[in-house]
Structure 1
Amino acid sequence: MSDQGSYPPPGQVPPGSGPVPPPAQPWFPPPPVHQPAGPPPGYGYPQPGPAQPGQAPPGWPQPGYPGYPPPMMAAHKPGAIPLRPLRLGDIYDAAFKIIRINPGSTVGSAVLVTAVAMAIPIAVTGVLTAFLDLSLVDLESESQDAADLAGFLSAYGSMLIGGILQSFGLLFVTAMITHVTAAAAIGRKLSLGEAWAATQGKRWRLVGLAFFLGAATLLYLALVIGLIVLFAVTLPNAAAVLLGLTLGFGGLAGLVFGWVRVYYLAVPPLMLEPIGVFAALGRAFTLTAQQFWRTFGIAVLTLMITQFIGGILSVPFSIGGVIATATASGEASLMIFVITNALGSVVAAAFVTPFTSSVTAVQYLDQRIRKEGYDVELLARAGVG
């Protein structure tokens, strides 16, 4: 047979011909390429671009331990206070941490000052009771002579003097806790002696600040009350009532404004900055600018918390004093009354003064961080950066 028209065996290519194309395959659309889940283009974070050799692509996390923040994140809190603008929870959390870390220079100082101040009425009452035979039963009776009346007035007067001394003593405690707070912000602890030594050179200025603010408040109240009395005497009833109410509410608003803008944050700058009394008042006014309602809200909330908890802490002593004086006889009743009230004051001051002073000092640091970048200086003092 002739070779023309014959076909080579399967799998062989005729001589001189090119490679045989593969047999045709049925057409199907290509399978979809799996894309990572995420937002469509144009939304969210940009897609990672090309990276240089040895570097992670832009938009991807840098090499390290996944799920952990960079090491510098911990540097923003070298102590008890996060060195950034603080929220209300941050302020209260920092105050509790400062008290827990420095119990001696916070709670200890408040207890020591209050105990010394309350020892005065106890001693005076004990002496008067021994010599004049005073008792609460005699106070309620109508048959008491001038000596007994003078003794009672002396006993209660000594309690008033003790309260005044306690107020001045707690003013120094506030100054000490201000230094404790500033040290806690950079991770340091101050003992009771170190906190007291830190106030050296500023103590008389602190007393001057207290006297100035007290005198200014009394003069302001005297002016407002005097004007109200003047209106009541010289004007008709309707006009006097209207102007009196207006002046009364206006005077109260002015008192609150001065308390927030000038009084509330005056002690921390006086203690921590090289300035005097009037410069400290100016610093308080500057730091609370455009922060009135925030400062006012935190201050009022703190006052409500401390008064509530302080009242709860002193209730057992008040109840115990009432029961003891009711069952005691003779001169022991007045002595028990004074002692139980003094113990209640000591226990309440152990919480109220450290917490209030710490919150005030933390608010001062917070305002400086917000307005002056004070966190940079604190980080440098802490040795970070």
Structure 2
Amino acid sequence: MPGWEWSNGWVPKPGIIALRPLKVGDILSANFALLRVHWRAILPFTAVIALVTQVAGLLISASVKQPQNVPSPFTPSQNPNADLRKSLSTLADSYPALGAVELISFIAGILATAVTILILSKAVIGRPAPLAEVWQSVRPRLAQVFGLSAIIALIMGGTIAVFFGPVFAARSAGASDGALAGLSLLMIPGCAIVLWLCVSLLMAAPALILERQGIRSALARSFRLVRGSWWRVLGIMLLVTIMIVIAEGLISVPFTMGAVFSQGLNPDTATSTTYRILAAIGGTIGMTVTLPVVASSIALLYLDQRIRRESLDVSLAAAAGIPGYTHAEG
């Protein structure tokens, strides 16, 4: 039956998902369906964002002196405390450049997320989503979207500062290797709390954009939607992340190999201009595809939680012109 799917009964499927609680496979397949159906609206937009991000990152990295003799975490060491000090020094020296690159990537992710979430909301009920129309809807909300993202970044940054700050402060004060090793243990609970916050705040952007909530309400909304499903949300996002890493790796292989062979297997290939340019090209292609996948996965998890808890599928069915539909359990 066109527009319906069998799942313990006939369930309407007006767009890229069936209107019922989503399984992992549904979320993964919906990502591909979104790109297939709405690639004209999504890919040109994310391509521009990816290109600007990669060029900016290329220019910043070219202006930074590359660290030398950085200890590898996989190589046995005779002096682990000294290696820890050297690693902290390298991280502190490269932090400004890393921060600039991450800020640019952060802004790119915000724009891609906002546009993709709105396109997906239309794709779910089978409505067209031309980019001009979507951008017109997104533009008035951009200030709030950036404000929300800035607050989340401050929350994450403040948490990191609380747990990581003492380590760098002790290093700057000339603390002993033993003291640095002891303080570095604070990073473990710090990483755990940051991960918990990342997952708990994951649905704030869809709540702000699709429900037109304020920043504070969107943050609280995300906590409520994730509560009780934290591990499931984490597991699905980890799976999506692994798939993205694999995809980006496969896309970058031809460019990396081209750079390596063009330099004659020179050990300095990784710092050459040719390598960086080819890596940026591969990164642009990879980001063009993966940026909307991350955003749509978050939005699909948001819809799934609302379908499970609030019977959002009934409202979506009505919006798609399917009256009289009742909630499908799953």
TM-score by length of 1: 0.64
Which residue matches 1:210?
Answer: 149
Aligned-partner Cα distance in 2 for 1:242–1:120:
37
The match for 2:38 is: 102
- Of the two structures, which has the highest relative contact order with CA contacts closer than 8 Å and spacing of 6 or more? 2
Q: Does 1:225 align with 2:164?
A: yes
Counterpart for residue 262 of structure 2:
324
Aligned partner letter, 2:111: F
Summarize deviations over 1:146-197 as a string: whole Å, max 9, x none: xxxxxxxxxxx99985764343123211111101111011111212222222
**1:78 aligned partner:** 14
Match of 2:286 in 1: 348
Question: Which has more helix, going by share of residues?
Answer: 2
Contact 2:164 2:184 in 1 (8 A): no
Q: CA deviation at 1:335?
A: 4.8
1:76 counterpart letter in structure 2:
P
Task: Note the C-alpha offset of 1:88.
Answer: 0.5
1:165 to 104, 109, 118: 104
Q: Which residue of 2 aligns with 1:313?
A: 251
Q: How does 1:271-286 map to 2 (within 5 A)?
A: 271-286=209-224
TM-aligned CA deviation for residue 273 of structure 1: 1.1
* Cα 1:316–1:84 shift into 2, 3 Å: same
Deviations 1:20-79 (A, max 9, x none): xxxxxxxxxxxxxxxxxxxxxxxxxxxxxxxxxxxxxxxxxxxxx9xx999xx6562111
CA contact (8 A) 1:317 1:341 kept: yes
Q: Which runs of 5+ in 2 are unaligned?
A: 69-95, 324-330
Task: State the distance in 2 between where 1:101 and 1:284 align.
Answer: 28
Alignment-derived partner of residue 289 in structure 1: 227
1:28 alignment partner in structure 2: none
Larger-Rg structure: 1
State the shift of 1:371 in Å. 0.7
Equivalence for 1:304: 242
Superposed counterparts of 1:104-183, under 5 Å: 104-120=40-56, 164-183=103-122
1:251 maps to a residue whose letter is G
Q: Deviations over 1:218-240 (max 9, x none)?
A: 2111111245678999x999999
Amino acid corresponding to residue 106 of structure 1 in structure 2: I
CA gap of 1:236–1:324, structure 2 versus 1, over 3 A, is: closer
Q: Give the superposition deviation at 1:106.
A: 2.2
**SS of 2:139 mapped into structure 1:** coil
Cα distance in 2 between the residues matched to 1:204 and 1:270: 11
RMSD after superposition: 3.8
Residue in 1 aligned with 2:189?
250
**Matched residues in 1 for 2:261 and 2:177: separation?**
49
- More displaced, 290-299 or 105-114? 105-114
Letter in 1 for 2:50: T
> TM-score of the superposition, structure 2-length normalised?
0.74
> Where does structure 1 lack aligned partners over 5 or more consecutive residues?
1-64, 129-135, 141-156
Distance of aligned partners of 1:236 and 1:171 in 2 relative to their CA distance in 1, 3 Å threshold: closer
| Conserved? CA contact 2:170–2:180, under 8 Å | yes
Count how many residue pairs are aligned between Structure 1 and Structure 2. 283
